[in-house]
Amino acid sequence: MSDDTSLDRPVVAELIERPIPPTIFSVAPPPPPPTPVTVAERIDALDVLRGFALLGILVMNIQSFSMPGAAYMNPTAYGDLSGANYTVWHFSHLLVDMKFMAMFSMLFGAGIVLMSKRREAAGAGAAGLHYRRMGILAGFGLLHAYLLWEGDILFAYAICGMIVYPMRRLPPAALTVLGIAAISVASLIWLLTGWSMQFWPPESIGEIAAFWRPSPEELSAEIAAVQGGWFSAFQRRLPLSFFFQTQVLLTWGLWRAGGLMLIGMALAKWGVLYGRAAAWVYGFIVAAAIGIGLPVIYFGVLQQFAHNWSTEYGMFLGTQYNYWASLMVSLGWIGAIMLATKPNTGNRLAKPLAAVGRMALTNYLLQTLIATTIFYGYGFGLFGQVDRVGQIQVVLGIWGFQLAISPLWLHWFHFGPAEWLWRSLTYCRRQPLVREA
């Protein structure tokens, strides 16, 4: 009888020696762990724009740091508005008010697209990392708002960033349409609220009027609260922060900032925010800002004074000229900066701005620390005592400091301190901070 096993040995040997197909039995390697964007991977144009926007935002925020809140929207509510003070307010309103917030929101949207593409290109999912990053940013915002300053924008950006993230893959045209639609919602809410005032009970109208134009007694009480100690300022800040993070966010910030983030995603995909668009594109949006945007805002200013900055007109319909035209002017600023910082035309300007932009979170919080130290009672207590000309002088001083210190810090460190903490918490491991010699 034949030995069947001897006949099978060559076959068995061949099977043993044959390499196992990796597509059948091997396990694909796990995706690389997420890591922060390195300097080599950064897009300089985004950093320059982010730095420019951050510095510009301070021109408006300084009013909130140094004056009663009503003066931010209604310049006639408090302080001198003549001569040089009027000039400062007028140009701040024309060139800055809402423009740099719009620019920063668009850049935030562009950053979402860039980071998710980078993570997905590495073969890993980006959603978990993004939502953890936004959750930590929201935590920073809550601490900033309740411990330091009610005008915080970080919390709103984090919430908007969570909402717009699923739309990041839409084509640019669709993102633009959705963005404009979202921005329109806040405008419609504002206009309908103003129109409905004719049906309000007198006491409700009185509350709105007191917010828009506080009485001398209310102004004195607000100034005294801020000029007091930290707890005195906290008692004033607590309800304001909650109001901004609930009602204002739901009726205005969510739609405005979220819509601008969607537009920023579109502009990133078109290459506009990366400095990759043709020069004529940047020139065109600059011309549109000068020829259309600024005249519309100026006409709005004339209308506000014609209506004596009344609550019924000034707070609602009167704000819409700048609400919409600021979008065009913010794009004009983007075009101007891109033209000014093209290679070999503005490197001396671009490098310090990029450093400020790379440390945007640190510099934003640092602006709060410096300004509250100057104006709040637990610092020098100058709240309500510095006119608009003096405020701009403070702004210029902070600008000079941050433009000087940011490049120096990044010479020795990889990140700003707040960015280092944000990244370490986001990636769940301590990031290197000090550069090797």
Task: Return the pLDDT at 295.
Answer: 98
Residues 243 and 141 in one domain: yes
Residues 84 and 204 in one domain: no
Residues 212 and 352 in one domain: no
Residue 6, in any domain of the structure: no
Residues 92 and 138 in one domain: no
Residue 15, in any domain of the structure: no
Residue 164, in any domain of the structure: yes
List, as one string, the DSSP characters of 281-316: HHHHHHHHIIIIIHHHHHHHHHHHHHTTT-HHHHTT
- Residue range(s) defining the domain that contains residue 405: 42-62+79-97+343-437
Residue 359, in any domain of the structure: yes
Total domains, the chain: 2
pLDDT in tens, 78-127: 999 999 999 999 999 999 999 999 999 999 999 999 999 988 888 778 99
**pTM score of the predicted model:** 0.89
pLDDT under 70: residue ranges of the chain: 1-43, 343-347, 437
**Contact 333/52 with Cβ under 8 angstroms?**
yes
Domain end point (choices 252, 274, 296): 274
pLDDT in tens, 311-327: 999 999 999 999 999 99
Cα separation, 397 vs 406, in Å, equals: 14
Residue 13, in any domain of the structure: no
Domain end point (choices 238, 253, 274): 274
Residue 321, in any domain of the structure: no
Cα separation, 137 vs 153, in Å, equals: 10
Domain end point (choices 253, 274, 295): 274
Cα separation, 346 vs 316, in Å, equals: 41
Residues 268 and 179 in one domain: yes
Residues 175 and 241 in one domain: yes
Residues 245 and 137 in one domain: yes
Beta bridge partners of 413: 434
Residues 248 and 184 in one domain: yes
Burial of 81 from C-beta contacts in 10 A (0-12 / 13-18 / 19+) = middle
**Contact 144/368 with Cβ under 8 angstroms?**
yes
Task: Return the pLDDT at 348.
Answer: 74
Task: Return the pLDDT at 341.
Answer: 82
Residues 84 and 151 in one domain: no
Residues 140 and 245 in one domain: yes
Residues 228 and 133 in one domain: yes
Task: Return the pLDDT at 42.
Answer: 52
Residue 10, in any domain of the structure: no
Residue 297, in any domain of the structure: no
Task: Return the pLDDT at 21.
Answer: 43
Task: Return the pLDDT at 26.
Answer: 37
Residues 151 and 240 in one domain: yes
**Contact 316/300 with Cβ under 8 angstroms?**
no
* Cα–Cα distances in angstroms (integers) from residue 84 to residues 43, 88, 90, 92, 176, in the given order: 39, 6, 10, 12, 39
